Amino acid sequence: MFKKAVGIIALAGLMALGVSSLKAETSPNGKMRFGMVDFQKALYETNEGKRAEASLNAAMNEKKKKFDILRGELDAMKTDFEKQRLVLSGQPLEEKKQALQKKLIEVEQTGASYEQDLGNKKADALKKILTGLQGVVQDIGQKEGFTLIFEKSGGGVLFSSGAEDITDRVIKAYNASAK
């Protein structure tokens, strides 16, 4: 995706400089036709994007509940350790300290694991939707005679005069194709 964005930005730069030798396909009326798509908006406004977001939120809430239980156990162990630290000494104190450290490591590793798992699920869901959106954009571009379609939300387009925003059409076409 980064390479595509760099390519689009470079092409836009050439066009902005007025390079006359750049040959591009023109629309049926003979003029170059430009469009823009906000993939960020499209990802989250498609029906599949909304379902993915709801699913990820449910998974996150489930993992948060489990993590909160672990944190509660750790907090209880800390409280117990602080209370008994003054009355225990030697081996029993060292065992409590080691158990507390072990629990802390467990909580940290579990949190990192949950975070990575959710990140992977999100990336997989977004990748699937993004691939579908790219196909829809290509179809619209070919069928409607666009010369070039820019990705609006990726930071490459800072100003556009005359480029048609086709995001809503892309969302609608994607939803229709996903049925």
User: What is the span of the domain harbouring residue 144?
Assistant: 2-178
Confidence of residue 28 (pLDDT cuts 50, 70, 90): low
Whether this model's pTM surpasses 0.85: no
Q: What is the CA radius of gyration of the chain?
A: 27
Q: Count the domains in the chain.
A: 1
Range picked from 5-9, 114-118, 149-153, 159-163 for highest mean pLDDT: 114-118
Q: What is the pLDDT of residue 21?
A: 31
Tokens coding 9: 């930005």
CATH number of 43's domain: 3.30.910.20
What percent of the chain is helix, strand and coil (3-state, nearest 5)? 70, 5, 25
Report how far residue 60's alpha carbon sits from residue 117's, in angstroms, rounded to the nearest whole number. 10
Taking 50 as the threshold, does the pLDDT of residue 20 lie above it? no
